Amino acid sequence: MSRRSTALAAALSLLVLGSPLITGCSNFAAYMALSSADQKYETGDYKGAIVDYNKAIEINPKDAGAYYNRGNAKDELKDYQGAIADYNKAIEINPKDAGSYYNRGLIKGKNLNDLNGAINDFNLAIEFNPLHYASYNNRCFAKYLSGNPVDALPDCEKSLSINPEYSYAYDTRGDIKYALSDKKDACSDYKKATKYGYKVRAKYLASEEGAWCRNMPD
């Protein structure tokens, strides 16, 4: 499941559990604001989604899902500090929310170059959801970027043991194997990443640069 799909699935789950229509006008108004926000998010209107999430939060300041999804919208707009502030608030309300730790870790690692902070957040995501295969993969990649490729590999293995078709974990493991001069296994992983839908790697393998792997026998 992609990050956006995960976010939307979490949002829908929270709406069903947290905003029943029969509990009163204020909850109905919050529900409508959240529904409008989610629709705008899906169409790429992130600024409009934030306006509606603001309304939902004003009505119900304890809705962790609204902060979580507003954080996602801010992330899309590259407001990384704003997104982290919303994930922090979601975690304050729901300290066991693996999704908020995961998304916060992504921003720290990818956008703020805070690899240690990212690893700590992926640790927490895994603590509260031991089957969160994306967190294992991203912790693997963060460890690799931190200069610990050998220590990183078990996390990639764990990610793939949970989801054997997770293309990103094959690609991450391939990068690590390549860095360790194991080009044969790296190529095998790159081909599996392509097989399971990772288009970036597929484009690489189709290019002149990727000929070394493309022409390597399985």
- Is residue 35 one of the residues assigned to a domain? yes
- Is residue 210 one of the residues assigned to a domain? no
- Is residue 20 one of the residues assigned to a domain? yes
- Is residue 211 one of the residues assigned to a domain? no
- Is residue 202 one of the residues assigned to a domain? no
What pLDDT is recorded for position 30?
A: 87
What pLDDT is recorded for position 27?
A: 84
What pLDDT is recorded for position 108?
A: 98
What pLDDT is recorded for position 218?
A: 75
What pLDDT is recorded for position 177?
A: 97
- Is residue 197 one of the residues assigned to a domain? no
- Is residue 107 one of the residues assigned to a domain? yes
Q: What is the CATH number of the domain that holds 166?
A: 1.25.40.10
- Is residue 103 one of the residues assigned to a domain? yes
The number of angstroms, rounded, from the C-alpha of 72 to the middle of its chain's C-alpha atoms is 10
Taking the chain (218 residues) in runs of 10, the rounded mean pLDDT of each run is: 32 30 60 93 96 95 95 97 98 97 97 97 98 97 96 98 98 97 97 97 96 90
9 closest CA partner among 54, 70, 69, 88:
69
User: How many domains does one find in the chain?
Assistant: 1
What pLDDT is recorded for position 26?
A: 60
Max Cα–Cα distance, the chain, nearest Å: 65
Domain that holds residue 50: 3-186
